[in-house]
């Protein structure tokens, strides 16, 4: 994974992954547990039993049983007539060694960059064709950015992502070009190339 620091209000579009349309109903217990956990998003942090059932296609009785087990294990919590992710998820997330080491090593640079600019500072890495955000420090009077620690964003849709793409291997750039050409909201391929040229050397 390649990290990068960046500042500024340079964002458009939507950054969260949604469950693929037409996906088969999960069969095994583990698949069903992950399907339930994947339903929760920053936009929908609390979901009812009915919503979990509708989102996963898993039988309601099974969702009820699995959700109760996840509550017992502190992976889910009861909230406002539904469920939300539990604190044990946070505890487990903090044990991810690569993220912790990179974040801790980058904190002095993040602090220095913030003090110099007073702008929003991100620390992100490439994960597949997305940016995965490890750190977000919100600047003074900052323009609202639809990013968050732990969130994802298509790298061809942001200046930070294009800066990483400018130094990425050719296959990675080619994959993003295909995505852009096949997405109605994406940029034409020639505009991506121009954007990468402009981003070259950006850190």
Domains of the chain, earliest start first? 1-154 (1.10.10.10)
Residue 21 has pLDDT above 50, yes or no: no
Per residue in 55-101, pLDDT (tens digit) is 999 999 999 999 999 999 999 999 988 999 999 999 998 898 888 89
The whole-angstrom separation of Cα 135 and Cα 121 is: 8
Per residue in 157-194, pLDDT (tens digit) is 887 888 877 776 665 555 655 444 444 444 554 555 55
Q: Whole-model pTM above 0.75?
A: no
Give the dihedral of Cα atoms 125, 12, 19, 4; nearest 10 deg.
0
User: Smallest Cα–Cα separation from 36: which of 93, 84, 81, 74?
Assistant: 84
């Amino acid at each position: 994974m390649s990290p990068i620091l960046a500042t500024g209000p340079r964002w458009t579009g939507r950054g969260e992954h949604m469950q693929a349309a037409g996906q088969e109903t999960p069969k095994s217990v583990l698949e069903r547990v992950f399907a339930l956990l994947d339903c929760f998003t920053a936009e929908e942090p609390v979901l009812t039993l009915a919503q979990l059932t509708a989102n996963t296609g898993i039988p309601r009785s099974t969702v009820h049983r699995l959700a109760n087990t996840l509550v017992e294990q502190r992976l889910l919590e009861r909230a406002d007539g539904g469920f939300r992710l539990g604190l044990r998820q946070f505890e487990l997330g903090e044990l991810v060694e690569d993220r912790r080491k990179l974040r801790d090593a980058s904190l002095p640079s993040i602090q220095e960059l913030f003090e110099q600019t007073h702008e929003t500072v991100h620390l992100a890495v490439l994960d597949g064709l997305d940016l995965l955000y490890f750190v977000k420090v919100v600047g003074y009077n900052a323009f609202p950015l639809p990013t968050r620690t732990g969130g994802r964003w298509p790298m061809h849709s942001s200046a930070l992502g294009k800066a990483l793409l400018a130094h990425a291997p050719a296959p990675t750039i080619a994959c993003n070009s295909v995505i852009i050409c096949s997405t109605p909201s994406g940029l034409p391929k020639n505009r991506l190339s121009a954007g990468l040229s402009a981003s070259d050397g950006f850190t």
